[in-house]
Structure 1
Amino acid sequence: MRSRSSTIVELARHCKTSVATVSRVFSGKVHVNPVLRERVLTAARELNYAPQQTSRKDNVAIIIPPNQSIRPPSWYANMLIATIIQETTAAGMIPQLIEFSQIDLLYPNFTVAALILDWRERAEVYQGLIQKGIPTIGINMKIPGGYMVCTDHYQSAKQALLHLYEHGHRKIGWLDAHTNNWGSAQRMHGYLDALKECSIDFDERMICAQDATAALALDGLADVLHAGATALVCLHEDWVIQLNYYLQALRYKVPDDVSVITAEIPSLCQWMMPPWTTVEQDLQKLALDALELIPLLANGSLPVKASAAFKVQPIPNRLIERRSVAQCHQGNRMAE
Structure 2
Amino acid sequence: MSTSRSTIRDVARAAGVSISTVSLVLNNKGHVSEATRRRVLKAARELGYVPSRAARDLSLKRTGNIGFVLRDDHFTRSEPFYTYIFLGTEFEARLHNLYVLLTTIPRDYQPRVHTPRFLRERNVDGLLVAGKVSDTFLQEVRAMKLPTVLIDYEAEGFPAVVIDNQGGARVAVEHLLQQGHRRIAFVGADLQHPSIANRLEGYRGALVRTGQTPDPALVLVDEEAEPTRATGQRLGQRLLELKTRPTAAFCANDALALGVMETLLQAGLRIPEDVALVGFDDVQGATQAPVPLTSVRVFKEQLGELAMRHLVERMTPDETRRPYARGQHIIVVPCELVVRASSAHRKAYPPA
TM-score, normalised on structure 1? 0.72
Q: How many residues are aligned here?
A: 275
- 1-structure distance, mates of 2:142, 2:77: 31
> One-letter code of the match for 1:163?
H
CA RMSD, 1 decimal: 2.9
- 1-structure distance, mates of 2:180, 2:155: 40
Equivalent of 1:157 in 166, 169, 173: 169
2:331 aligned with 1:307:
no
Shift of 1:266: 4.6
Shift of 1:250: 1.7
- Alpha carbons of structure 1 residues 79 and 207: separation in structure 2 relative to 1, 3 Å: farther
Provide Cα deviations, 1:42-74, integer angstroms capped at 9, x if missing partner. Answer: xxxxxxxxxxxx9552211111114556x5435
Shift of 1:212: 2.0
- 1-structure distance, mates of 2:248, 2:200: 16
2:203 is matched with which residue?
Answer: 191
- 2-structure distance, mates of 1:247, 1:80: 31
Q: Is the 8 A contact 2:128 2:151 kept in 1?
A: yes
2:140 aligned with 1:140:
no
Q: Is the 8 A contact 2:200 2:252 kept in 1?
A: no
Q: Is the 8 A contact 1:112 1:294 kept in 2?
A: no
2:65 aligned with 1:59:
yes
- 1-structure distance, mates of 2:73, 2:241: 36
- 2-structure distance, mates of 1:299, 1:311: 16
SS of equivalent to 1:57: coil
Q: Is the 8 A contact 1:147 1:306 kept in 2?
A: no
Provide Cα deviations, 1:218-251, integer angstroms capped at 9, x if missing partner. Answer: 3422222443110111232333432332232122
- 2-structure distance, mates of 1:328, 1:178: 34
Shift of 1:213: 5.4
Unaligned runs of 5+ in 1: 1-53, 332-336
Shift of 1:86: 4.4
Equivalent of 1:172 in 172, 179, 184: 184
Shift of 1:196: 1.0
Shift of 1:89: 4.5
2:299 aligned with 1:287:
no
- 2-structure distance, mates of 1:104, 1:65: 15
> One-letter code of the match for 1:322?
R
- 1-structure distance, mates of 2:95, 2:179: 43
2:100 is matched with which residue?
Answer: 95
- 2-structure distance, mates of 1:125, 1:206: 35
Shift of 1:79: 3.5
- 1-structure distance, mates of 2:315, 2:302: 21
Once the two structures are overlaid, the 10-residue window that deviates more, 85-94 or 127-136, is: 85-94
- Alpha carbons of structure 1 residues 118 and 281: separation in structure 2 relative to 1, 3 Å: closer
SS of equivalent to 1:286: helix
Unaligned runs of 5+ in 2: 1-56, 106-113
Q: Is the 8 A contact 1:254 1:324 kept in 2?
A: yes
Q: Is the 8 A contact 2:186 2:218 kept in 1?
A: yes
Shift of 1:275: 2.7
Q: Is the 8 A contact 2:298 2:336 kept in 1?
A: yes
Shift of 1:319: 0.7
- 2-structure distance, mates of 1:265, 1:241: 11
Matched-pair identity in %? 18
- Alpha carbons of structure 1 residues 246 and 92: separation in structure 2 relative to 1, 3 Å: farther
- Alpha carbons of structure 1 residues 297 and 169: separation in structure 2 relative to 1, 3 Å: same
Provide Cα deviations, 1:54-106, integer angstroms capped at 9, x if missing partner. Answer: 9552211111114556x543543343334434443465321112222233640
SS of equivalent to 2:333: coil
1:19 is matched with which residue?
Answer: none
Q: Is the 8 A contact 1:126 1:136 kept in 2?
A: no
- 2-structure distance, mates of 1:277, 1:207: 20
2:315 aligned with 1:298:
yes
1:206 is matched with which residue?
Answer: 218
- Alpha carbons of structure 1 residues 230 and 178: separation in structure 2 relative to 1, 3 Å: same
Equivalent of 1:113 in 122, 126, 136: 126
Shift of 1:159: 0.7
2:7 is matched with which residue?
Answer: none
Provide Cα deviations, 1:253-296, integer angstroms capped at 9, x if missing partner. Answer: 21111111112435432343443221101112211111111222
SS of equivalent to 1:200: coil
SS of equivalent to 1:111: coil
Shift of 1:187: 0.9
2:335 aligned with 1:322:
no
Q: Is the 8 A contact 1:230 1:329 kept in 2?
A: no
SS of equivalent to 1:106: helix
TM-score, normalised on structure 2? 0.69
2:223 aligned with 1:223:
no
1:84 is matched with which residue?
Answer: 89
